Amino acid sequence: MSILIDKDTRLIVQGITGRDGGFHASKMKTYGTNVVGGTSPGKAGEFVEDIPVFNSVKEAVKETGANTSIIFVPAPFAKDAMMEAADAGIQLIVCITEGIPTLDVIQAYHFIKSKGANLIGPNCPGLISPKKSLVGIMPSMIFKQGSTGVISRSGTLTYEVVYNLTDNGMGQSTAIGVGGDPVVGLYYKELLEMFENDPETDSIVLIGEIGGDAEELAAEYIKNHITKPVVAFIAGQQAPPGKQMGHAGAIISSGTGTAAEKIAAFEAVGIPVAKEPSHIPLLLKELI
């Protein structure tokens, strides 16, 4: 099994006629994802890589039975795109777009929740269930089907960690980049619960970074609710306080959110923390 996406995923690409939307629609389709349509207002009837284009998500859902969307529209229009998808009945919305105002994300997030849908991102690389479905911009060639679930705040670190897992013969059930903005959709707690309940996931890798307290909360949740082996890695150990490092959410403020605090929170509940991404497979093998 996998979580969130599989061979039954029916995907639409919002912004499919744009440069990035069209490029990644083709990549996802080639991988084997069931890309059933795309949207671009005013361009209904056109095709991108034999994928039909619709004016709206509502029309696309009606014609194709889509249940998942991925968003590549520019930041000023991303809030409306997310809300449009939820209003049309899409159950999983993956927003790749970066630079969306935080207040826009908050409004869209609460609307999506009110519709009973889930959001991944924004400012994320998406997710992949190897050999089943790719909904995102991840380099598919480094992934291998297996039983380790991966959750990460960093796209680039996801790829590095997965490369090392695959190189050590440890495949992935699903790998998810949650996004690096201050406000995002599904996060550690919800995804940890999904992996805990997935019978074909036998271990979990959690990749965190400086800023906020999500990792500390995840450590407490793992202690109380997760029975499967978990290994963590925290990026930003040399980051100076008060300076944004990469992601908008990766900033240490008021003496909180440091890598040392996050590492200590995991170690306090018995979760090993890798010093380098290449150490993760070795730590996992000791636990499985």
Per-residue burial over 1-32, b if 16 or more Cβ lie within 10 Å, else e, is ebbbbeeebbbbbbbbbbebbbebbbbbbebe
Write down the catalytic residue from 110, 225, 247, 279.
247
**Dist. CA 33–CA 27, nearest whole Å:** 9
Biggest CA pair distance of the chain: 57
Measure CA of the first residue to CA of the last residue in the chain; give whole Å: 19
- Reply yes or no on whether 247 is catalytic: yes
Dist CA 151 CA 142 (whole Å):
16
Instruction: Catalogue the active-site residues.
Output: 247
